[in-house]
Amino acid sequence: MREVLERQRRYVSQIERRKRIVVPWVFCRADDGEIRNYYTAWRAACQAVGIERIPHDFRRTAVRNFERASVPRTTAMAMVGHKTESIYRRYSTPGTT
């Protein structure tokens, strides 16, 4: 993941230098525009590597990993977008993916 993000940062930096602007997004279109709907890009990326996943599939994995790493619950909840502890607990159920 780090390698992917570093490569993306280099790509966006090239756009920033070429256009002499600041691009406030990690992922953007080649014309520096914001990606408003990432599902098309997500599906293309998954197809390119031969997997079938939806972004939501990784939420439970993230919660499980936060729990294992002893990340404070409020921090973990903010990172995955859970507004209530009851929802967070559903995702942190032991023995799930």
Tokens representing 33?
């525009």
The listed range with the strongest mean pLDDT (1-5, 73-77, 87-91) is: 73-77
* pTM (2 d.p.): 0.49
Q: Rounded mean pLDDT of the chain?
A: 85
Domain boundaries, the chain: 2-49, 57-91
pLDDT in tens, 50-62: 988 877 778 888 8
Q: Label residue 97 by pLDDT band (50, 70, 90).
A: very low
> From CA 60, how far away is CA 68, in angstroms rounded?
12
> From CA 38, how far away is CA 44, in angstroms rounded?
10
Helix (H, G, I), strand (E, B) or coil at 34: strand
pLDDT in tens, 18-54: 999 998 888 888 887 877 777 887 888 889 999 888 7
Beta bridge partners of 28: 34
Q: How many CB atoms within 10 Å of residue 18?
A: 9
Beta bridge partners of 34: 28
